[in-house]
Amino acid sequence: MSAKITTLRDAVAELVHDGDTIALEGFTHLIPVAAGHEIIRQGRRDLTLVRMTPDIVYDQLIGAGCARKLVFSWGGNPGVGSLHRLRDAVENGWPHPLEIEEHSHAGMANRYAASAAGLPFAVMRGYTGTDLVKHTPTIARITCPFTGEELTAVPNLGLDVAIIHAQRADRKGNVQMWGLTGVQKEAVLGARRSLVTVEEIVDELEPMPNQVVLPSWVVTAVAEVPGGARPSYAQGYYDRDNDAYRAWDPISRDREAFTAWLKSEVLA
């Protein structure tokens, strides 16, 4: 079955449910920020948010009270400092307590790979000797059946929904992205349902260097959302708005400033 071309609002309403395990991926590049805001507007609750780098998009979802749990590997504002809504939730339980499940980038990347491959776990060299092992139940030792070597296993993420942003799709819903593509292919292939927001829908996908193409039949829905990755960037369309990342710091530090921002920039 091919992807349905729809609107962001309808896609989120149909695909994202309260209590879902959901990944909005994009490694600095192509972060689906507009989709995150739509989830806030539709008032989703009790989500398990999965993302390697929560970035400001998850800071916003957490501050808006959408999340019950966060599965992640690096929770900072890249190049700026802390994610203050994340910290406020973890340190003070505001707006409500947030359970965390913490990995390394290598571990998360492998969990996405296992999910895409339809395997219960992935195997890697990692975590040995770190205190992450003591606090994260989804890290386990495994013995290689061929060499007897001790390795590490990390499980499939069990994603209900993956949401990514890409540069283009064609009218059949085939998706094309290029540049740094992170774990987005794995996220889409690893989830039961997927939504891709795109800068534009075109008649023909002209080949690009280093492109990743997701055929329409592995994507559930495609929505045209120009600028849908701002303030992150979409190579070939717009640059990363570094000032917006810096400006997020004072907004997110203060609950009132954040609440006012949420009202005027997302909910209005």
Residue numbers of the site for other proteins (CB under 8 A)? 27-29, 52-53, 72-76, 78-80, 82-83, 86-87, 90-91, 102-106, 109-110, 112-113, 124-132, 135, 149-150, 179-183, 185-186, 210, 233, 235, 239-240, 242, 245
Inter-residue contact 258 to 85 (CB < 8 Å): yes
| Smallest separation, CB 116 to other proteins (Å) | 9
Q: If we measure between CA atoms, which residue out of 245, 253, 195, 199 comes closest to residue 42? A: 195
Q: How far is the CB of 233 from other proteins (least distance, A)?
A: 6
Q: How far is the CB of 245 from other proteins (least distance, A)?
A: 7
Answer whether 3's CB lies under 8 Å from 216's CB.
yes
> Residues 209, 220, 203, CA angle at the centre, nearest 5°?
50
Burial of 161 (0-12, 13-18, 19+ CB in 10 A): buried
Nearest to 20 by CA among 192, 195, 136: 192
- In the bound state with other proteins, the residue whose beta carbon lies nearer, of 54 and 65, is 54
Instruction: Choose between 72 and 261: whose C-beta lies nearer to other proteins.
Output: 72
Of 42 and 128, nearer to other proteins (C-beta) is 128
Minimum distance from residue 72 beta carbon to other proteins (Å): 7
Strands 150-155 and 121-124: antiparallel
CA–CA gap between residue 54 and residue 104 (Å, rounded): 13
**Minimum gap (Å) between residue 122 Cβ and other proteins:** 9
Rank residues 136 and 174 by Cβ distance to other proteins and give the closer one: 136
Nearer to other proteins, 4 or 121 (CB): 121
